[in-house]
Amino acid sequence: MSATSFRARFDAMVAELRAHPQVEIYELHVRPSATNVALREAEARLGRPLPADLLEFYRAHDGVFLEWGLRGHEYQCKTAPYEYPDYSQPPGCINLLPVDLAVSATWEQDYHVNEIQPDHWIHLYGSVPDPLPEFGSICVDNFSKYNHGDLILGPEPVMVVSTDHGADMDSSDFTSFATYLDMTLAIYGLNRYEHGLGIGWTRKSERVDAWTKRAPLDQWIAGLLAEA
């Protein structure tokens, strides 16, 4: 998915959510493109170029935020754009972080997303990098308190959905950033672990080259109402 097609599909998804009588959108932000300075500084911190699909995204919009829930339902905590979600937040959240927040060493301190185990490196790439990169991964999409979308910075960067506040990266399938965006829009920003790449500990993770699971918004709303 290109940055142009993402924006068109994102806007169409937002319009569909707004038109649904049982949906309320709480907050929506699309930031302008990242500056060349910000992109250069991010790459300097990483010690490597940003992946092409992620770079294209940031050249188009330096952060995208959307949060929505069921109309008339009270949620204990709503998420501030580009901040940390909390428990009991609304079910629909896209929190694609600005580049200076995504490429930040504080994620290792706060969410442990860089603590990739040797067997995970081997499963994804065949061997453990030597030396290990300073940034094993970065949090790109901080969409829930318990899960977030992380980019593993191996020879071919891939997205996983971490669980257990980021400490576990093994129970998720993996995919390109472009396919991750496609999946996120296909499930209307609902939890990407529960409804997307998460596999629990039932099997070995696999690469997802294209997102083919799609359901109408009414079906997702019916599921949320059944859980409410």
The CATH number that applies at residue 98 is: 3.40.1580.10
Question: How do residues 116-142 score in pLDDT, each as one tens digit?
Answer: 889 899 999 999 999 888 888 899 999
| pLDDT score for 135 | 84
**Domain around 68:** 3-223
For residue 189, what pLDDT is reported?
98
Let me know if residue 107 belongs to a domain. Answer: yes
Q: How far is CA 136 from the centre of its chain?
A: 16
Mean local confidence (pLDDT), 157-163: 95
Asked whether residue 228 is assigned to any structural domain, the reply reads no
Output the CA torsion sign for 134, 153, 91, 13: positive
pLDDT in tens, 30-50: 999 999 999 999 999 999 999
Q: Structural domain tally of the chain?
A: 1
Residue 33's contacts (CB-CB under 8 Å, 6 or more residues apart) are 58, 59, 60, 61, 62
pTM for this entry? 0.95
Is residue 66 assigned to a domain? yes
